[in-house]
């Protein structure tokens, strides 16, 4: 049995760090494991200009503990009216991608896109400039069952989008279904997908075991076991189209343990241990490094990281909660022991 693995330092290709005092809690967790992370722009108000992205990047860097090298990779929030000429400024500022949230799909998505066709001029500019499009792939129509929203998005939104912009690199973010895994596996070289640790480890029963467990509620919501197995198969298949993106999404505990609890699982405190656990459960630790450290960088056209991260099979129990501004942050599996640790 493998007791220790050393990987090239990984990248988290999908991360929420929020702003203000929250940064001081969550940025050190990610910087302790990852060399880089792709920072989601769903602040209030959202990050929609190159200038805002540069300012936000400085605030994140100010929260990196001294002695750790960590690079935030910045994104902009695509809206119905994000002007196409902002794309050149974004490219010059080092912004790597734009995030498409269908309006109303998730946390802070009110400013999101109401109709993808409204963004076509901007998507053309992105395709020319080589900026990636990251999609939250769920339709928002209330008549579509919550558990079907990702599969319906593929047919009604993603397939037409791919047809209209064949050379725009698209990341189907935090995929949760067999349909999405199959779609991405069979697509051309311009489409890839990120997968979270929690969607590899849990199915939807986790939300309801012994009562409603709000810390397992995220969007897209956990699906049934057949879908989890399809995600594990995709992540451990060796296909370069799948890579790590934790979607770690901190919320104050009192707003998750609430009558209308916020969506988002916090995993940054133990992201690589959780990915290692998922790959170990599938007897695929040999596939972990490509998934966490190579495939994302390669798809984004970034140099692979230098330096290493070592994980050991050794039980430990993360803190039950973390101070989070004036509130508390409860991580996923709060108080539970984990089989792998970073050393
Ligand atoms: O669960 C989620 N939380 N899904 C998202 O898409 C957004 C995220 C957040 O920002 O809290
Ligand atoms: Zn997210």
262 CA: nearest ligand 1 atom: 11
- For ligand 2, the distance from its centroid to the CA atom of residue 289, given in whole angstroms, is 22
Measured by CA distance, the residue closest to atom 10 of ligand 1 is: 107
* 279 contacts 293 by C-beta, under 8 angstroms: no
pLDDT of residue 108: 76
Structure tokens at 9: 């330092």
**Does residue 284 form part of some domain?**
yes
Domain of 132 in residue numbering reads as 11-304
Residue to substitute in 218, 222, 260, 268 for testing ligand 1 pocket (most ligand atoms within 8 angstroms of CB): 218
pLDDT of residue 109: 78
How far apart are the C-alpha atoms of 78 and 132, rounded to whole Å? Answer: 11
Q: In what order do the strands lie in the sheet with 4-8?
A: 4-8, 308-316, 338-342
**Does residue 70 form part of some domain?**
yes
Percent of the chain with pLDDT over 90: 97
pLDDT of residue 279: 98
- For ligand 1, the distance from its centroid to the CA atom of residue 53, given in whole angstroms, is 19
Domain count for the chain: 1
How do residues 6-44 score in pLDDT, each as one tens digit?
Answer: 999 999 999 999 999 999 999 999 999 999 999 999 999
264 CA: nearest ligand 1 atom: 1
**Does residue 122 form part of some domain?**
yes
Ligand closest to 196 (CA) is 2
Residue to substitute in 245, 251, 263 for testing ligand 1 pocket (most ligand atoms within 8 angstroms of CB): 263
How far apart are the C-alpha atoms of 152 and 147, rounded to whole Å? Answer: 10
How do residues 53-73 score in pLDDT, each as one tens digit?
Answer: 999 999 999 999 999 999 999
Structure tokens at 32: 């302790």
**Does residue 199 form part of some domain?**
yes
Burial of 185 (0-12, 13-18, 19+ CB in 10 A): middle
pLDDT of residue 197: 98
Q: Euclidean distance between the first and final Cα of the chain, in Å?
A: 18
Ligand closest to 105 (CA) is 1
Return the bridge partners of 135, or none: 100, 172
E-state strands within 210-262? 242-244
Q: pLDDT averaged over the chain? A: 97
- Active-site annotation holds for 247: yes
* 133 contacts 191 by C-beta, under 8 angstroms: no
Q: Which of 115, 247, 286, 298 is catalytic?
A: 247
pLDDT of residue 269: 98
Residue 133: phi and psi, rounded to 5, are -110, 125
**Does residue 279 form part of some domain?**
yes
Residue to substitute in 44, 219, 222 for testing ligand 1 pocket (most ligand atoms within 8 angstroms of CB): 219
Residues lining ligand 1, CB < 6 A? 16, 42, 106-107, 136, 218-219, 249, 263-264
CA distances from 24 to 59, 65, 316 (A): 10, 9, 23
**Does residue 336 form part of some domain?**
no
**Does residue 18 form part of some domain?**
yes
Dihedral angle of Cα 210, 212, 218, 223, to the nearest 10 degrees: 60
SS3 assignment, position 219: coil
Give yes or no for a cis peptide into 113 (omega within 30° of 0).
Answer: no
Based on DSSP, count helices (H) and strands (E) in the chain, helices before strands. 13, 13
- For ligand 2, the distance from its centroid to the CA atom of residue 2, given in whole angstroms, is 32
Sequence-separated (6 or more) residues with CB below 8 Å from residue 276:
5, 285, 288, 311, 340
How do residues 85-131 score in pLDDT, each as one tens digit?
Answer: 999 999 999 999 999 999 987 777 778 999 999 999 999 999 999 99
Residue 224: phi and psi, rounded to 5, are -75, 170
How far apart are the C-alpha atoms of 35 and 309, rounded to whole Å? Answer: 10
How far apart are the C-alpha atoms of 311 and 320, rounded to whole Å? Answer: 21
How far apart are the C-alpha atoms of 81 and 78, rounded to whole Å? Answer: 8
Place of tokens 């896109």: 113
How far apart are the C-alpha atoms of 98 and 74, rounded to whole Å? Answer: 9
42 CA: nearest ligand 1 atom: 10
**Does residue 329 form part of some domain?**
no
* 343 contacts 32 by C-beta, under 8 angstroms: no
Ligand closest to 106 (CA) is 1
pLDDT of residue 5: 98
Helix (H) or strand (E) holding 159: helix 159-164
Across the range 248-267, mean pLDDT stands at 98
Ligand closest to 134 (CA) is 2
- For ligand 1, the distance from its centroid to the CA atom of residue 173, given in whole angstroms, is 11
Could you tell me the pLDDT band of residue 272, with boundaries at 50, 70 and 90?
very high
Return the bridge partners of 6, or none: 310
CATH number at residue 120: 3.20.20.140
pLDDT of residue 4: 98
- For ligand 2, the distance from its centroid to the CA atom of residue 341, given in whole angstroms, is 24
108 CA: nearest ligand 1 atom: 10
Measured by CA distance, the residue closest to atom 2 of ligand 1 is: 264
Across the range 173-202, mean pLDDT stands at 98
pLDDT at 204 over 90: yes
Residue 245: phi and psi, rounded to 5, are -150, 110
250 CA: nearest ligand 1 atom: 11
* 229 contacts 195 by C-beta, under 8 angstroms: no
- For ligand 1, the distance from its centroid to the CA atom of residue 194, given in whole angstroms, is 14
């Amino acid at each position: 049995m493998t007791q220790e693995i050393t990987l090239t330092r990984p990248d988290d290709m999908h991360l929420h760090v929020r702003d203000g005092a929250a940064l001081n809690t969550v940025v050190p967790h990610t910087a302790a494991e990852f060399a880089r992370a792709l920072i989601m722009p769903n602040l209030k108000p959202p990050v929609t200009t190159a200038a805002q992205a540069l300012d936000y990047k400085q605030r994140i860097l100010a929260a990196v503990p001294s002695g750790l090298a960590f690079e935030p990779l910045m994104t902009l929030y695509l809206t119905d009216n994000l002007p196409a000429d902002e794309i050149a400024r974004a490219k010059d500022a080092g912004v790597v991608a734009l995030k498409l949230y269908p309006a109303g799909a998730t946390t802070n998505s009110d400013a999101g896109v109401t109709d993808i066709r409204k963004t076509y001029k901007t998507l053309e500019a992105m395709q020319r400039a080589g900026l990636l499009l990251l999609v939250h792939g769920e339709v928002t129509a209330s008549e579509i069952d919550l558990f079907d929203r990702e599969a319906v998005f593929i047919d009604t939104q993603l397939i037409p989008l791919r047809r209209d912009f064949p050379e725009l690199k698209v990341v189907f973010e935090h995929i949760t279904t067999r349909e999405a895994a199959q779609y991405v596996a069979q697509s051309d070289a311009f489409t890839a997908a990120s997968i979270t640790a929690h969607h590899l480890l849990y199915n939807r029963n986790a939300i309801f075991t012994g009562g409603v467990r709000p810390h397992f509620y995220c969007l897209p919501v956990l699906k049934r076991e057949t879908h989890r197995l399809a995600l594990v198969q995709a992540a451990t298949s060796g296909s370069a189209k799948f890579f790590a993106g934790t979607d770690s999404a901190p919320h104050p505990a009192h707003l998750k343990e609430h009558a209308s609890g916020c969506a988002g699982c916090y995993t940054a405190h133990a992201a690589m241990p959780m990915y290692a656990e998922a790959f170990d459960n599938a007897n695929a630790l040999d596939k972990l490094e490509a998934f966490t450290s190579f495939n994302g960088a390669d798809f984004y056209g970034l140099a692979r990281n230098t330096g290493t991260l070592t994980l050991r099979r050794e039980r430990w129990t993360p803190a039950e909660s973390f101070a989070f501004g004036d509130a508390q942050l409860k991580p996923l599996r709060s108080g539970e022991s984990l089989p792998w640790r970073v050393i």
